Amino acid sequence: MEDLVTGPDGLARCGWAGDTEDYVRYHDDEWGRPVRDDRALFEKVTLEAFQSGLSWLIILRKREAFRAAFAGFDPARVAAFGDADVERLMGDAGIVRNRAKIEATIANAGAAVAMADAGESLSELLWGFAPDPETRPAPQSMADVPATTPESAAMAKELKRRGFRFVGPTTAYALMQACGLVNDHVAGCCAR
């Protein structure tokens, strides 16, 4: 993969954005932009977990179906899902039908609701792991972008302690990138 690619619009982007319209739009408009809303962060946690082992493009193209299937990612509604909902989701060809990930999403919703009931914010928890941007220079190449960091390992550990599942250090770091806790757009990228 190239470090930067230049699109038909003449803009240089991170190499992973390529020229697929879905990726370019996601790269330019979402990836690395700060997300602080608890419901939106629950959605991102869920989608990053479902992405594990798959192409992100698959998840992007199924995102609207995921939103419909998981009640707009309202944690309280998802936490109330039962066995019939799991079976419904297992039959939904619009999403990734993985029982362990579906059950993890319901458990994660319960953990998010428990945090809210205790007066805690998922946003405050996650953003508490954001490294100081002054200590993170722009990656010069894709090789400079890590898969995990001490912060992502600590985030994953804390999320697991609170009952979240499918949130290992790699998934936690992908979440940090997607939600703007870190800025891994490479030097020279139009979105940096």
Residues carrying an active site annotation: 26, 48, 56
Q: Of 47, 153, 148, whose CA–CA distance to 101 is shortest?
A: 47
What is the maximal distance between C-alpha atoms in the chain? Answer: 50
R_g of the chain, CA atoms, integer Å: 17
> CA-CA distance, 9 to 18, in Å (whole number)?
13
**Secondary structure (H, E, C), 123-169:** HHHHHCCCCCHHHCCCCCCHHHCCCCCHHHHHHHHHHHHCCCCCCCH
* Residue 22, amino acid: D
